Amino acid sequence: MLTMPAWGVSSGAVAVGLSLFPGWVAKLSPCYDLGMSSDQSDTFPGLKEIFLEEKQIQQKVADLGVRITQDYRGKTPLLIGVLRGAAIFHADLIRHIELKLRVDFISVASYGDATKTSGEVQLIKDLDTSIRGVDAILVEDIVDTGLTLDYLVRNLESRRPASLRSCALLSKPSRRCIDIPIDYVGFEVPDKFFVGYGLDHQQKYRNLPFIASLGNDRTDF
Ligand code: 5GP
């Protein structure tokens, strides 16, 4: 049986969410009991707590879709997903935008260790299409220091789009090194390392339908 998590996620809602993934319930259940080490999970070692449950994420993505629909009425925006972390968010978001739209993807690498960026950003995969004269929206998973978003905005602005806005599911304001505005923000989150809903740790956890934090702090994993 799932115990009520101390961080306020309703165990009922969690149970409903996890019922879609019955195989995970047994393996993840230690993570719902703060009295037990999350490392007891064979499948997802290190998962500390569910920070955003699936329902909360889906509601926020729907809200962002409504806002973008209203703001871009009469236009055909290009939704640019930043691979790979934003792939799931991007896929869900575009289905909540009730407009004619186009999609493209870009991929960058930020160098550093597993949980911290060094500030060096490199383009790995460019867009397939020109954005000259296009209303482009950059769709990011998470803005941490802001260095990646700053790099992408400067790079894309130089291609002369009609407009360029940014949308990030998560933002960690306390970690910002560059004061870069984000036009659409899903959730402002604290300085923890998050996985799930597209976010990875060493390429794992992307398929979790919720967002969880890894360890108590950055030295835990
Ligand atoms: P930046 O520091 O440049 O804003 O973020 C660079 C990248 O680091 C993000 O696009 C994301 O891929 C990764 N990142 C930053 N914080 C987290 C986090 O909490 N979890 C995961 N999985 N990736 C993160």
Residue range 141-188, pLDDT digits in tens: 999 999 999 999 999 999 999 999 999 999 999 999 999 999 999 999
CA of 143 to the centre of ligand 1 (A): 6
**pLDDT score, position 110:** 79
Based on the residue annotation, tell me whether 144 is a catalytic residue of this protein.
yes
CA-to-CA distance for 133 and 156, rounded, in angstroms?
A: 12
pTM summary value: 0.81
Average pLDDT over residues 46-54: 89
CA of 180 to the centre of ligand 1 (A): 15
CA-to-CA distance for 87 and 178, rounded, in angstroms?
A: 24
CA-to-CA distance for 193 and 49, rounded, in angstroms?
A: 11
Quick check: 36 pLDDT over 70? no
Atom 6 in ligand 1: residue holding the nearest Cα? 148
Residue 208 beta carbon below 6 angstroms from any ligand 1 atom: no
8, 39, 113, 200 from 208: Cα distances, Å: 19, 17, 23, 10
Nearest to 213 by CA among 44, 6, 56, 47: 47
pLDDT digits (tens, 9 = 90+) for 72-113: 999 999 999 999 999 999 999 999 999 999 999 999 987 665
Interior angle at CA 2, CA 34 and CA 169, nearest 5: 70
Q: With contact defined as beta carbons under 8 Å apart, do 89 and 169 qualify?
A: yes
3-state secondary structure of 53: coil
**pLDDT score, position 113:** 58
CA of 41 to the centre of ligand 1 (A): 24
